[in-house]
Amino acid sequence: MDRLNRIDMLLKMLEKEPSDLFLNYALGTEYVGEKDVDRAEFQFKKVIEMDVNYIAAYYQLGKLFESLSKNKEALEYYNLGLEKAKLVKNNKAINEFGEAIFMLDF
């Protein structure tokens, strides 16, 4: 299944379950793959609005802004995600955010 078919499938699924966090997040990742940064940004921010503790969305927003050379925005989301990861003691996410921040500050 190609990316555009997956996007269509996710959109149809979201019609039935618009508040499904994973479906919204998955749609954001598919938009990243299509290089549709505006829609990807919208989806990841929507996920965070729905659940401020959805750590992966912060990481994806950081990566998205980093790919656009918007390092200030990238660091903002990496730092927010790092704080959330620390709150839930997610060591893997703490390390990933820490590495991403280090690489941008380097």
User: Which tens digits make up the pLDDT trace of 50-77?
Assistant: 999 999 999 999 999 999 999 999 999 9
What's the domain range around 37? Answer: 3-105
The CATH number for 30's domain is 1.25.40.10
Number of domains in the chain: 1
**1 vs 58, which has greater pLDDT?**
58
In this structure, are residues 55 and 44 in contact, taking their beta carbons and an 8 Å threshold?
A: no
Instruction: Report how far residue 73's alpha carbon sits from residue 90's, in angstroms, rounded to the nearest whole number.
Output: 23
Q: Which two tokens stand for residue 99?
A: 């590495």
pLDDT digits (tens, 9 = 90+) for 81-104: 999 999 999 999 999 999 999 999
**What's this model's pTM, rounded to 2 decimal places?**
0.94
CA distance 82 to 92: 10
Four-residue CA torsion sign, 73, 53, 51, 3:
positive
Q: What's the pLDDT at 106?
A: 72
Which pLDDT belongs to residue 1?
A: 72
Amino acid at 21: L
